[in-house]
Structure 1
Amino acid sequence: QVFHWEKIDNGFCGTIDDVAVYVEQRSDALGVHAKAASASSRCVGEHGQDAHATKLLVRNYFALDHPLAEICASFPDDPIMNAARKFCRGLRIIRQSRWECLATFICSSMKQIAHIRQISRRLRERFGDARKIDNGAGGSRATSTGRPARVDEPGGESINHLVYTFPSAQRVAESSEKELRECALGYRAKNLLATARLVRSRAADLDAWAALSDVDLREKLCQLPGVGAKVANCVMLFAYERLRAFPIDVWIERVLREKYFPRKRKVTRQRLRAFSELYFGKHGGYAQQYLFHHARAAARSHRTAKIDDQERRNLSARGR
Structure 2
Amino acid sequence: MQNRSLETLACPEFDLAVTLDSGQTFHWEAHGTGFVGTIGEAPLYVEQRGDELLVTKGAAGIARNYFALDHPLDEICRSFPDDAAMSAARDFGRGLRILRQPEWECLAAFITSSMKQVAHIRQMSRAIRERWGQPHRLDDLELFSFPSAVRMAAATEQELRDCALGYRAKNLLATAERVASGAADLHAWRELPDSELRERLCELPGVGAKVANCVMLFAYERLRAFPIDVWIERVLKEKYFPRARKVTAERLRVFCDKYFGEHGGYAQQYLFHHARKATPRGR
Alignment TM-score > 0.5, same fold: yes
| Structure 2 unaligned regions, length at least 5 | 1-23
Runs of 4+ that moved beyond 2 A: none
Q: Does 1:208 pair with 2:188?
A: yes
Among 147, 153, 169, the residue aligned to 1:173:
153
Count residues in correspondence. 259
What residue identity is the alignment partner of 1:104? A
Q: CA deviation at 1:130?
A: 1.6
Code of the residue aligned with 1:289 in structure 2: it is: Q
Aligned to 1:20: 43
Which of 46, 53, 57 is residue 30 of structure 1 equivalent to?
A: 53
CA distance in 1, matches of 2:237, 2:98: 24
Alpha-carbon distance between aligned partners in 1 of 2:157 and 2:70, rounded to the nearest angstrom:
40
| Matched AA of 2:224 | R
Q: Larger radius of gyration, structure 1 or 2?
A: 1
Cα offset, 1:161, TM superposition: 2.7
Question: Could you say which residue in structure 2 is the equivalent of 1:68?
Answer: 73
Offset, 1:87: 1.2
- Deviation, 1:133, is 2.0
* Residue in structure 2 matching 1:280, options 246, 260, 275: 260
Q: How many Å separate the matches in 2 of 1:84 and 1:111?
A: 23
Deviation readout 1:198-254 (Å, 9 max, x if unpaired): 001110000111100100000000000000000000000000000000000011001
For residues 62 and 95 of structure 1, the distance between their equivalents in structure 2, rounded to whole angstroms, comes to: 7
For the residue of structure 2 that corresponds to 1:296, the secondary structure is helix
User: For structure 1, which runs of at least 5 residues remain unmatched after alignment?
Assistant: 34-44, 46-50, 135-159, 304-320
Give 1:241's aligned amino acid.
Answer: E
Note the C-alpha offset of 1:131: 1.8
SS of the aligned residue for 1:12 comes to strand
Distance 2:253 2:142 in 1: 41
The aligned residue for residue 261 of structure 1 is: 241
- Superposed, 1:224-303 pairs within 5 Å as 224-300=204-280
- Of 198, 209, 217 in structure 1, the residue corresponding to residue 178 of structure 2 is 198
Aligned sequence identity (%): 68
Separation in 2, partners of 1:229, 1:66 = 25
Q: 1:311 — aligned with what?
A: none
Distance across 1 between alignment mates of 2:32 and 2:253: 41
Q: Does 1:88 align with 2:93?
A: yes
Aligned with 1:15: secondary structure? strand
SS in 2 for 1:278: helix
Aligned to 1:308: none
Cα separation, 1, equivalents of 2:211 and 2:92: 26
TM-score normalized with structure 2 length: 0.89
Distance 1:222 1:256 in 2: 23
The structural deviation recorded for 1:102 is 0.4
Give the secondary structure class of the aligned counterpart of 2:98: coil
| 1:138-157 → structure 2 map (5 Å cutoff) | none
Q: Which of residues 1, 5, 8 is equivalent to 2:31?
A: 8
In structure 2, distance between residues paired with 1:251 and 1:12: 27
**TM-score normalised by the chain length of structure 1:** 0.79
The one-letter code of the counterpart of 1:15 is T
Inter-partner Cα distance in structure 1 for 2:132 and 2:163: 10
Q: CA RMSD in A?
A: 1.1
